Amino acid sequence: MLFHVRMDVHLPHDLPPTEAAEILAREKAYSQELQHSGKWRHIWRLAGQYANYSIFDVRDNEELHAILSGLPLFKFMDIEVAPLLRHPSSIRDSDA
């Protein structure tokens, strides 16, 4: 199943820089592992915001929830999820 996910990050201003750097390093490694596996298909930064739009390709809602809740930045995020279906007018079979 494909999901469109918006993630807005709100790091606390009083988070020690060394702790923030450690969390961000873990976040990058985790997200890149998921990208290599094909589960995190796309990620785009939103210009001027600490936010992204991502496309996930996972088995079901439960797998998506496990992935998102496993993000090291999860407790600092507002997340919106929308399931996606292939549009009947799409000319690309790979959009499934």
Identify the pLDDT of residue 76: 98
The CB density around residue 40, as the number of other CB atoms within 10 Å, is 20
Q: Convert the pLDDT of each residue in 19-53 to its tens digit.
A: 999 999 999 999 999 999 999 999 999 999 999 99
User: Does a structural domain hold residue 94?
Assistant: no
User: Does a structural domain hold residue 56?
Assistant: yes
- Identity at 26, one-letter amino acid code: R
User: Does a structural domain hold residue 96?
Assistant: no
Domain with residue 18: its CATH number is 3.30.70.1060
User: Does a structural domain hold residue 78?
Assistant: yes
Structural domain including 13 reads 2-88
pLDDT above 70 (res 95): no
* Dist CA 96 CA 94 (whole Å): 5
pLDDT above 90 (res 86): no
- Identity at 33, one-letter amino acid code: E
Q: How far apart are the first and last CA of the chain?
A: 8
User: Does a structural domain hold residue 29?
Assistant: yes
CA atoms within 13 A on the CB side of 5: 25
pLDDT above 90 (res 74): yes
Q: How many domains in the chain? A: 1
